[in-house]
Amino acid sequence: MRRLASFGWWLLLVALLPILLPQALFTRRRAIRLSPASGPQAGIAGSFDGEPLRLLLVGESTVAGVGVGSQQEALAGQLAGQLAMRLQRPVAWQALGENGITASEAVERLLPQVAAEHFDLVLLVFGVNDTTHFSSRRRWQAALEALAQPFAAADCRVAFTSVPPMQHFSALPWLLRKMLGWRAYMLDSQLGEVAGQLSASHCRVTLEFTPAYMAHDGYHPSALGYRVWAEVLSGLLLGTLRRG
């Protein structure tokens, strides 16, 4: 069924290419370019006693903190703070993100940077760039497996965030949003299956996509968006940790 849906998507893409290509080029020219979050990409959250939980986030621009000024406002800092409060335990966090990176590129460029380190919980945040780069289903699955397996083999809990629903990204024209949203949905469905096969968690989070939750580029979360995302994720990840 998924193969049939993917085939149908490609057929529709080809049919709509005369409309979608100008939209994509126009969007790229007028896109607002925001920088990654500045400051330290690692830290300790929570002034509690005890051994810190070692948390690693690996991913694309949201892990790099695009949309806010510092990692404390971004997903990594917000998530570490939420987990520390829920666990009543310090959280030693590290954010390893790159703007524009796909999952397969992360296997080559990001994974080697942390391969020798040990973590208790790893959150993998991918999907937007694989959607816009039209990554094949086979390449997407292989990359997800390659990213998760080294951490799982080291007795670390691994979780994936769901692929964002790109049909709500206001920076994109309506038709392009719909096509990319459909593609993102298919990649996320496949991600859920891969996560199940790897005994990893697939964290589905539903967020509002109103202006208050988005950075002014209409593409990345605002500080409020990151905070709410982290609040929901922390609850899901707490269950993951307890099952471990």
Between 12-16, 60-64, 129-133, 143-147, the lowest mean confidence (pLDDT) is in 12-16
Q: Angle, to 10 degrees, between the axis of helix 174-197 and the axis of helix 137-153?
A: 40
Q: Are 63 and 57 in contact (CB under 8 A)?
A: yes
**Pairing of β 53-59 and β 201-203:** unpaired
pLDDT bracket for residue 59 (50, 70, 90): very high
The pLDDT value given to residue 243: 66
Q: pLDDT tens digits for 187-199?
A: 999 999 999 999 9
> Which secondary-structure segment (H or E) carries 123?
strand 121-125
Between 15-29, 40-54, 99-113, the lowest mean confidence (pLDDT) is in 15-29
Give CA torsion, residues 69, 213, 102, 6, to 10 deg: -170
The pLDDT value given to residue 162: 96
Q: pLDDT tens digits for 206-233?
A: 888 888 999 988 889 999 999 999 999 9
pLDDT of 1 > 70? The answer is no
pLDDT of 244 > 80? The answer is no
Give exposure, 136-154, as e/b (b: 16+ Cβ within 10 Å). eeeebbbbbbebbeebeee
Mean pLDDT of 65-90: 95
Average pLDDT over all residues of the chain: 91
- Please tell me whether residue 66 adopts helix, strand or coil conformation: coil
Residue with tokens 């816009």: 132
Higher pLDDT: 58 or 172? It is: 58
Rama region for 100: left / alpha / beta (φ>0; ψ in -120 to 50; rest):
left
- Please tell me whether residue 136 adopts helix, strand or coil conformation: coil
Domain map (residue ranges) of the chain: 37-243
Share of the chain above pLDDT 70, in %: 98
Which residues does residue 123 pair with via DSSP β-bridges, in sequence order?
57, 159
Mean pLDDT of 131-152: 95
Which residues does residue 96 pair with via DSSP β-bridges, in sequence order?
58
182 φ/ψ angles, rounded to the nearest 5 degrees? -65, -45
- 162: Cβ–Cβ under 8 A, 6 or more apart, which residues? 127, 188, 191, 192, 202, 203, 204, 205
Options 3.90.226.10, 3.40.50.300, 3.40.50.1110, 3.20.20.70; CATH for 37-243 is 3.40.50.1110
75 φ/ψ angles, rounded to the nearest 5 degrees? -65, -45
Q: Are 65 and 43 in contact (CB under 8 A)?
A: no
pLDDT of 205 > 90? The answer is no
